[in-house]
Structure 1
Amino acid sequence: MIDTHRTYTLTSEQLSLQQKVGQLFMPAVFINDTEEEVQKMEKLIKDHHVGSICFFHSRASAATNFEGKKKVVHNEKSYDRLLELINRYQKAAQIPLIIAIDAEWGLAMRIENTPQFPYAITLGALNNNNELIHKVGEAIGKDCKHAGIQWNLAPVVDINNNPENPVIGYRSFGDDRDSVLSKAEAFLKGMSESGTLNSIKHFPGHGDTATDSHLGLPVIDKPLDDLLKNELYPFKKLIDKGVDSVMVGHLLLPQIDSDHPSTTSSKIISELLRKELGFNGVVISDALNMHAVSNKFVEKGALEAAAFSAGMDVLCFTENVAEGITRIINNSTIKQIEQSFERVWALKQKVFAPNTAVQTSNGDTVQLNKEIAQNTITELYGNPLLAEKIKSSNFLNVSISSGKRNHFAEQIAAHSGIQAIDLDTALASDKKNALLSIFPPAVKPKDFFGFDKKTLALIHRLIQEKNILIYLFGNPYVLDILQLAANSNVALIYQDFPEFQEVAVEHFLGKIEAKGSLPIQLKTFQL
């Protein structure tokens, strides 16, 4: 029987300095690891008193590899494997591990066949309905706790004010500081009610950059006053209200520290975050294997020691546990080690208290997603009269499904009798009105969101030659590459979930109104 929910009475009086430093390390673990790798991790946990672990799907999809060409193998039994590995790793630990994961939109971010909730950018489209975001935070927290995960490294509170951002984008609630703050606060309150630890990220703000820190070091060169008014604003407000941890991203802010990225900068961690913003909780690093910082430290353990010296408490995705522990013990003061240890220990006491309730799994995820869909559909109509004319005409039902099932086009066909066709067939037709449903191949902007050049060229032709009504089931930044005209009409659906497609059909048929607002500024498409 797998037991992922043991409680403990924790005492720290008998722990050695070696054990206390080990508690600051959070190596990555992988659902699809081999038995050999699992046993190596069990030994690492036991021998070095590792304090926490962070789950990823596989080595092919984690951190620096996620943009690579390694094949990600689908595993239908990922969740069962997750439970098994949590149990094994907890048994290997003399001191209970905090189990962490990135579940920004649910366990589905890492684990197949688990509940998936909308991306932050979708929640950003909600108007005056933060109660739904509260429910999402609570539901995700319950799913984490039910699986034996105590720490969800979420939410993202970066203000995505750069349309060309390659890594934040859809993970942000938007480009307005007050909206990001209010929505993040609702998410945090919901997750807190589940008893799950949180981490606001990526301090000091990863939104205004066109560089992916997995692959290079982003530079954000703005006056500190501007940062305090915008990027740092949600961090400061949420810190004042109370958060469990702050994740520091890999960013270079030359106006504050021209010599060190934020990960290893005492000016950013110890002075800006601790002293100026008043944060006294746990500071956790973004993944230390990311190329923004890992390529700059050749010697094993040097990056971990530099990050700790700058004020970091938890070293996430560390690949040099033994060497890092030795360097920190040899180069740090007892006072700093004790301070970081006490912060981490307080988190453990919070989640492993004997009276901590085990959360039950959620109820109807589909219904919650449907309610969000009903409140986020966003109309960007350059010519509303033309949009209505298209709906009532003998239009072309054009589908770009990118290998996904287009329930929307199927249901439109069922209602109208107009069967779905591809781009080539549509362009060969004499009909002038077209309903175009687009399912982008990818959610990230790399390589034009996964569209091949031929498909993108055909989309451009269709938009030029026809009266178009687009239903976009994906990242709204896709609109920037479609070469839309001033009279183009777009209904943003944001997600491709079946329940979002069902609600989109209701919108097309005039049964519901669009209630959402675009939470970001687009680069090229303006109405």
Structure 2
Amino acid sequence: MLSKKQKIAQCFSPAAFVHDTEENHRELERLIQEEEIGSLTFFHSRHSAAANFESRAEVLDFSGTLEKMIGLINRFQAVSKIPLLICIDAEYGLAMRIEKTPQYPFAITLGALQQDAEKWVGEVGFQMGMDLKRAGIHLNFAPCADVNTNPNNPVIGYRSFGDDAEKVARLAMASYLGMKKAGIGACFKHFPGHGDTAVDSHLGLPVLKKSIEELKSEELLPFQYGIDREVELIMVGHLAVPALSGGKEIPASISREIITDFLKGKMGFKGLVVSDALNMKAVANHFPEPGELEWQAFHAGNDLLCFSDHVKEGIEKIAEKALEEEVDLVFQKIMDLKKQLGVLDFQPISVPKFDWEAHHQLQKDLAQNYVSVISGKIDFDNLCDLSKAGKLGYQEYFTSQKSRFAEMLDYDFVAIDQAEKVLISVFVPSHKPLNQFGMEEAELEEIKNLSQRKPCILIHFGNPLALKYLGELNDFEAVICAYQNFEETQEVTINLIQK
């Protein structure tokens, strides 16, 4: 029979960093043994666990991440009395956290699929889920069900399936079901909807000032769609929505009115509520006393507490203040999830091998479905004629070496000054909007000037939200949006520019 504290400990999922000191790994081992926590959430490293991991990933010099993670999962499971629920935040695949593993297109890219979008998004969810399952992970904190209606949103953007609430609802559900089919857990996030915010909740508290009617027609729609179809996990974000919390500007993640009264009560959610990372500044800065934030999150109605920096104090505070029946209810939910995901039958895992050929084919099939001419049209014959006459130019921006796309172009190019028409390829450096998606002002000015001086065709490899920095689309003869810079995407894009 477990004690009250042991049951509460099952709610905790602190961070585990693959690249960390041996001393820190031992400390986590002690936490697992002494506090008997129920779960771990894996991150690449302390350096990359905060916001903007993706923009830092390329400067990190680590090797053997996958092997190390598998070793740590086996090591930590070996010292846990009840097998641990292993979680990760891998919205576009294991590659979001672990190098040299399969990466899939961003949600914004999948939102651009032109045919059978739900089928393909489901397939991506399934393949991602299989990768995670083979790597010993039980639960993926994805997909985002946020509707990206604010193009200046610093934290959602490429992570959302788009700005149409109904499409987001359908594709988030398809992604969720794909992962479930692979036998892992998935989770709608960031309730009540983080898409129309202008503050990054890793750094501060976004406030969404909308009426309940507005929220129902947009932010809440994908979540209600999921609840009606029995989604089992929802993550609550660190954003204030006064219309749902009696006018108070309190983070949803610690608001009892929002989680217990509204999400579970009015919207009818019966599943497990997951808190967003409790170390994020939108909430962490408000509770200097260790354990108080954890209690507030639990009291609000969260069942799984992620990335808590004060596990021991949190367990003690919840044990002191929570009712026995509340604790029993949450404990049962966690144990039911563990049974359902096969956590309790843990067997040591070995390093998985990925089917790179199948992955390459899937990426190609997807790219053929999303790469498209979004403005103007392309005249192949004219391009051929200009190439033969020595009047076609080519310029690419933000690449450190010649791209695969440039290597495959079967045209003869001349210097820009001598060209009558120019193909411009833009490889957007970052998929986050910070500093104009990482694009330097001088190059942006050069692109704009070129598009006004000569007929130009723009080929945009990257987040479509970055297009606004390249000038008026009408200034280009045609614009191809390729969404990603994967090699497969570059190969598929060639077919739109040459026969």
User: TM-score band, normalised by the shorter chain?
Assistant: over 0.9
Matched, 1:17 2:4: yes
**Residue 492 of structure 1 aligns with which residue?**
481
Q: How far, CA to CA, are the matches of 2:55 and 2:163 in structure 1?
A: 28
Alignment of 1:416-455 (within 5 A): 416-418=411-413, 426=416, 429-455=417-443
Q: How far, CA to CA, are the matches of 2:112 and 2:193 in structure 1?
A: 21
Q: How far, CA to CA, are the matches of 1:270 and 1:197 in structure 2?
A: 22
Q: Does the CA contact (< 8 Å) of 1:387 and 1:469 recur in 2? A: no
Matched, 1:224 2:195: no
**Residue 304 of structure 1 aligns with which residue?**
294
| 369-378 or 72-81: bigger deviation | 72-81
| 397-406 or 132-141: bigger deviation | 397-406
Matched, 1:466 2:454: yes
Q: How far, CA to CA, are the matches of 1:449 and 1:476 in structure 2?
A: 11
**Residue 333 of structure 1 aligns with which residue?**
323
**Residue 8 of structure 1 aligns with which residue?**
none
**Residue 222 of structure 2 aligns with which residue?**
234
SS in 1 for 2:242: coil
Q: Does the CA contact (< 8 Å) of 2:452 and 2:475 recur in 1? A: no
Q: How far, CA to CA, are the matches of 2:82 and 2:367 in structure 1?
A: 43
SS in 1 for 2:423: strand
Q: How far, CA to CA, are the matches of 2:341 and 2:57 in structure 1?
A: 36
**Residue 523 of structure 1 aligns with which residue?**
none
Q: How far, CA to CA, are the matches of 1:229 and 1:349 in structure 2?
A: 36
Q: How far, CA to CA, are the matches of 2:212 and 2:86 in structure 1?
A: 35
Matched, 1:136 2:124: yes
**Residue 373 of structure 2 aligns with which residue?**
379
Q: How far, CA to CA, are the matches of 2:58 and 2:458 in structure 1?
A: 32
Q: 1:477 to 1:319 in 2, by over 3 A?
A: same
Aligned-pair distance for 1:127? 2.4
SS in 2 for 1:164: coil
Q: How far, CA to CA, are the matches of 2:172 and 2:270 in structure 1?
A: 20
Matched, 1:396 2:393: yes
- Structure 2 counterpart of 1:293, which letter? V
| 357-366 or 20-29: bigger deviation | 357-366
Aligned-pair distance for 1:387? 8.3
| 389-398 or 132-141: bigger deviation | 389-398
**Deviations 1:165-186, CA, capped at 9 Å, x for gaps:** 1111111111111211121122
Aligned-pair distance for 1:203? 0.3
Aligned-pair distance for 1:486? 2.1
- Structure 2 counterpart of 1:409, which letter? A
- Structure 1 counterpart of 2:369, which letter? N
Q: 1:78 to 1:355 in 2, by over 3 A?
A: closer
Q: Does the CA contact (< 8 Å) of 2:48 and 2:56 recur in 1? A: no
Aligned-pair distance for 1:401? 3.7
Alignment of 1:96-175 (within 5 A): 96-129=83-116, 130-175=118-163
Q: 1:361 to 1:272 in 2, by over 3 A?
A: farther
Q: Does the CA contact (< 8 Å) of 2:176 and 2:187 recur in 1? A: no
SS in 2 for 1:30: strand
| Greater helix content | 2
Q: Does the CA contact (< 8 Å) of 2:12 and 2:304 recur in 1? A: yes
**Residue 287 of structure 1 aligns with which residue?**
277
**Residue 359 of structure 2 aligns with which residue?**
365
**Residue 41 of structure 2 aligns with which residue?**
54
Aligned-pair distance for 1:386? 7.0
Q: 1:52 to 1:392 in 2, by over 3 A?
A: farther
User: What TM-score do the two structures reach when normalised by structure 2?
Assistant: 0.93
**Deviations 1:283-331, CA, capped at 9 Å, x for gaps:** 0011111111111111111111111111111111111000101111111
**Residue 321 of structure 1 aligns with which residue?**
311
Aligned-pair distance for 1:464? 2.3
Aligned-pair distance for 1:69? 8.1
**Residue 33 of structure 1 aligns with which residue?**
20
Aligned-pair distance for 1:354? 7.3
Alignment of 1:470-485 (within 5 A): 470-485=458-473
- Structure 2 counterpart of 1:448, which letter? Q
Aligned-pair distance for 1:114? 0.2
Q: How far, CA to CA, are the matches of 1:496 and 1:503 in structure 2?
A: 11
**Residue 257 of structure 2 aligns with which residue?**
267
**Residue 335 of structure 2 aligns with which residue?**
345
Aligned-pair distance for 1:349? 1.0
Aligned-pair distance for 1:74? 2.8
Q: How far, CA to CA, are the matches of 2:140 and 2:244 in structure 1?
A: 29
User: What TM-score do the two structures reach when normalised by structure 1?
Assistant: 0.88
Aligned-pair distance for 1:132? 1.5
Q: How far, CA to CA, are the matches of 1:503 and 1:469 in structure 2?
A: 17
Q: How many residues align?
A: 487
Aligned-pair distance for 1:461? 2.0
SS in 2 for 1:161: coil
Q: 1:294 to 1:404 in 2, by over 3 A?
A: farther
Q: How far, CA to CA, are the matches of 1:378 and 1:21 in structure 2?
A: 51
- Structure 2 counterpart of 1:372, which letter? L
Matched, 1:407 2:400: no
- Structure 1 counterpart of 2:320, which letter? N
Q: How far, CA to CA, are the matches of 2:52 and 2:466 in structure 1?
A: 24
Aligned-pair distance for 1:31? 1.2
Aligned-pair distance for 1:446? 0.2
Aligned-pair distance for 1:385? 6.1
Q: How far, CA to CA, are the matches of 2:216 and 2:57 in structure 1?
A: 40
Q: Does the CA contact (< 8 Å) of 1:390 and 1:434 recur in 2? A: no
**Residue 522 of structure 1 aligns with which residue?**
none
Aligned-pair distance for 1:75? 2.1
Q: How far, CA to CA, are the matches of 1:19 and 1:499 in structure 2?
A: 49
Q: How far, CA to CA, are the matches of 2:491 and 2:164 in structure 1?
A: 29
* Structure 2 unaligned residues grouped into runs of 5+: none
Aligned-pair distance for 1:122? 0.8
Aligned-pair distance for 1:108? 0.2
**Residue 495 of structure 2 aligns with which residue?**
506
* Structure 1 unaligned residues grouped into runs of 5+: 1-13, 420-424, 511-527
SS in 2 for 1:60: helix
Give aligned-pair identity as a percent: 41
Q: 1:339 to 1:441 in 2, by over 3 A?
A: same
Aligned-pair distance for 1:188? 1.6
Aligned-pair distance for 1:104? 1.0
**Deviations 1:249-289, CA, capped at 9 Å, x for gaps:** 01011122214210110111001110111111110011111
- Structure 1 counterpart of 2:61, which letter? H
Q: Does the CA contact (< 8 Å) of 1:390 and 1:435 recur in 2? A: no
Q: 1:490 to 1:44 in 2, by over 3 A?
A: same
Q: Does the CA contact (< 8 Å) of 1:404 and 1:439 recur in 2? A: no
